[in-house]
Each structure stands twice: as C-alpha cells, then as structure tokens.
Amino acid sequence: MSSFIIRRFNPTTDLNAVQNINRNCLPENYPRFFFTEIYERFPDGFNIAIDETTNEVVAYVMTRIEKGLSNFGFGLCKKGHIISIAVMPQYRRKGLAKKLMLAANHALRLRDVKEVYLEVRESNQAAINLYQQLGYITMKVSKRYYSDGEAALIMVAKI
C-alpha cells in the first residue's frame, strides 16, 4: 500500500511531471510558463502529491489569489481560485484530491482569504461530490465554458 507526501511544487524538479499529469488528466492543457507564473505569484498554493514508494509525482493543485466581489457578503474581497487540480487515474479514490484541496485552503487562509471558488465540468460528478463534501456550493452555471462546449459549474466555499 502506497503512502503519499503532500509538498510544495518545485518548478525545477516537478514541472515536467505536473505538465504530464495535466496532459494525461485534463483536456485543458497549459503551457509551461503558465505553471511557473502561477507558482511565482503564490508558491504556497501550488502543491503536489508524491507516491513515497515510487517517488513519483502523481497529483497536483494550483491556486491563485484574486480580488473580486464576495459571493457571501458585500463589496470586494480576496478570493482564492482553484485553477487546476488533477490526479493520475491509477491514484484516484485514495484521498489525494481531498488532501490537496485542504492544503490549498490552508495556504489561502494563511493569506487571509475567506472564500474560494473553482470551475468544474458539469459531467465530473466525482469532483462535484468531493467539492460538496468540502463545503462548496454551486453558485452558477457557465454555459459552453470549456473548449469542447461543455458547461462548467462555478462552485464557491467559505474557508
């Protein structure tokens, strides 16, 4: 049975692995500079999961902090944005996405962020279930959000 370490992304040693996970797991693929730019802006919010048995990077989450209108109050606030989270298929259903989400929320709270949002494909019921477990609610549906025309649920949570 594998055990996993959650740690901060290191662009020097982890970028190829994270980009590989992104390409294998998600139809939306980001260029290399995007990953490093997100890391440089908020390094504590970019974490990976490593299989201790193989020392392989098997999942990641990357976040950023934005300013925007509060979903739970009035006025502008600092908001966390879960930009991307992915777990290699053979490592799913082991709690890694949940651990990565909790690490992201912790990093955001340390920066005095009180709410967070994300976009998720409306067909991704496993992810939606996880986000609901973590207190996310669907705020709206963004039609034709993804390049293939699928809608996204915009989900928000207080943290």
Q: What is the pLDDT of residue 72?
A: 87
Q: What is the pLDDT of residue 140?
A: 95
Q: What is the pLDDT of residue 145?
A: 87
Domain 4-158 has CATH 3.40.630.30: yes
Cβ(28)–Cβ(146) below 8 Å? yes
- Local structure of 35: helix, strand or coil: helix
Q: What is the pLDDT of residue 120?
A: 97
Give the DSSP per-residue string, 58-108.
EEEEEEEEEEEE-SSSSSEEEEEEEEEEEE-GGGTTSSHHHHHHHHHHHHH
- Local structure of 155: helix, strand or coil: strand
Q: What is the pLDDT of residue 1?
A: 58
- Give bridge partners of residue 68 from the DSSP assignment: 77
Q: What is the pLDDT along the chain (159 residues), one digit of tens a residue?
A: 579 999 999 999 999 999 999 999 988 889 999 999 999 999 999 999 999 999 999 999 999 999 988 888 888 999 999 999 999 999 999 999 999 999 999 999 999 999 999 999 999 999 999 999 999 999 999 999 888 899 999 999 999
46-51/4-8 β-pairing: antiparallel
Q: What is the pLDDT of residue 9?
A: 97
- Local structure of 132: helix, strand or coil: helix
Six token digits for residue 122: 């409306």
